[in-house]
Amino acid sequence: MVASLQFVARRSAAAITSTATRASARQTLSATSLQREALSVASRGLSSVTQRRSSLAPTWSKNTQSTLRLRKEVRWNSGESGPVLRQWGFEDINASLPASTPSPSHTPVILIDVREPAELTGTGIIPNAINIPLASQPDALYLTPDEFETRFGFPKPSADTEQQIVFYCKAGVRARRGAVGSSGGRLGVYDGSWLDWERHGGKTERWDGDA
């Protein structure tokens, strides 16, 4: 009888242990599944956020570039961060050139051609223009009058002169840069520059300087 009871007790204990083991295993599997599902949800959420950021990046970049361009244009035209530049056209330049019988009201301008000497050799220059090649002589406008005349062989255009100082190049870009970097005075830019002058059949002089 005692042996029988002991056998029944051992079987009951084994059954209980087996049940507990299976329950523990199910709990472990359930926890693992939950962890996998959580990781999957997190991964999908991160991917969604990354995609949204990627889709927004180009828009932000374009908007930022547009804003920067607008600010640059406002500064460029405001006159607060640089000299006020008069815009010159072909007729203005042509009328400013010395005439054989100048009128009392005629006021010649100082024309500054900022192209390189090698360019002038092939095209010539506008009559009476002086050459200050800013690409190869970037410090030219910052030299003292004595240093300038020693280097170029003619007096430095003075900011105190009553004459208009007009810059030109091939297409206007270098001319505007030179005028903006100049130290005051009555400044102007021939925006059409040499291409416009040539298109209108303006007078030219042969360049006799060093190429």
Interval 85-106: pLDDT, tens: 999 999 999 999 887 555 666 6
Across residues 75-80, what is the average pLDDT? 38
Domain membership of residue 33 (yes or no) is yes
Same domain, 90 and 190: yes
* CATH number of the CATH domain containing 93: 3.40.250.10
**Single-letter residue type at 27:** Q
CB 156 within 8 A of CB 103: no
Let me know the angle formed at the C-alpha of 135 by 75 and 84, rounded to the nearest 5 degrees: 30
Same domain, 149 and 56: no
Domain membership of residue 209 (yes or no) is no
pLDDT at site 11: 54
Same domain, 141 and 93: yes
Same domain, 126 and 183: yes
Domain membership of residue 210 (yes or no) is no
Of residues 96, 95, 123, 89, the one with CA closest to residue 111: 96
Q: Would you say residue 127 has pLDDT above 90?
A: yes
**Where are any strands of DSSP class E within 94-196?**
110-113, 130-131, 165-168, 187-190
Across residues 147-156, what is the average pLDDT? 95
Interval 166-181: pLDDT, tens: 999 999 999 999 999 8
- Determine whether 81 is exposed, middle or buried from the number of CB atoms within 10 Å of its CB (0-12, 13-18, 19+): exposed
Same domain, 104 and 181: yes
Domain membership of residue 204 (yes or no) is no
pLDDT at site 75: 33
